[in-house]
Amino acid sequence: MSVILTEKEINICQHFQKHFLLKIAENDSLLEEVYQIRYNVYCEELKYEQKECFPDRQEKDIFDHRSIHCLLQHRESQLYAGCVRLVLPDRQKPQFSLPFETVCQNHSYCSQFPPFSYGEVSRLAVRSEFRRRTGEAKTPSGLLLFDELNLITNKKRKFPLIALSLYLSATSIALLADMERVFVLMEPCLARQLQHFGFVFSRIGDSVEHHGKRAPYQITKKDLFQHLPLDIREFLDMIYDNVRATSVKSRIQQLLK
């Protein structure tokens, strides 16, 4: 399943609103959709996790109860295309309580920052139906590149609409939680790709073997707003307004109590 942009559809926000609906998983039914997507992607397709560990076909872990989950729904098919979560630190032990710290052992980077001034974007997953272009099926998010006309240069460029909208939804939650930075464990090539869209991540540790080579990165609020191009900033503003209109603020307050 693919979404093709034409030169008449050059506005990212309009194109997104036409084809997708962003939701916060605020109830058990939506959370089940999140966990089922993750099971499909991480267990069945990529074999990152053992299916036997999830007999209910819902991939979960110990960080989910401290996370806010986002879902992206394809309007035409009504299918949920992908998901992502923002993990908040554990109130009892804010340092050493994020997913990347369990992979990057002996990592004490977070201890230098005030508690709850940071979080982690993780478990981004997109269903195979939405990432079947060449090379996209090998990673949870895929490249998800679609032709889009650059408003500045008037030239076609490739735009990762689905993956970027999920990252922006997690970013919006972090902004609503007044976080100064977020962490991501990802492939170095993905970090380089995201730079093309204004996401300038700083690497904060060595590569580790975790379903391929991964490394820990961070992006600060300052760096985010300093480097985002105008059209991506408008896209973030739209996603932020959508997220803010939900009950996510009360969920953040519950997790930070």
Domain ranges in the chain are 12-256
Confidence (pTM): 0.86
Burial annotation 105-129 (CB, 10 A radius, 16+ → b, else e): eebebbeebeebebbbbbbbbbbee
Nearest of 225, 239, 67, 54 to residue 162 by alpha carbon: 239
**Whether pLDDT at 141 is above 60:** no
Q: Would the pLDDT of 220 be above 90?
A: yes
Q: Which CATH number fits domain 12-256: 3.40.630.10, 3.40.50.300, 3.40.630.30, 2.60.40.1660?
A: 3.40.630.30
Name the residue with higher pLDDT: 134 or 65: 65
- DSSP assignment, residue 46? S
Instruction: From 85, 21, 78, select the one nearest 248 (Cα to Cα).
Output: 85
Phi, psi for residue 217 in degrees, rounded to 5:
-130, 160
* Higher-confidence position of 14 and 71: 71
Half-sphere exposure at residue 224, Cβ-oriented, CA atoms within 13 angstroms: 19
∠ CA(77), CA(83), CA(84), 5° rounding?
160
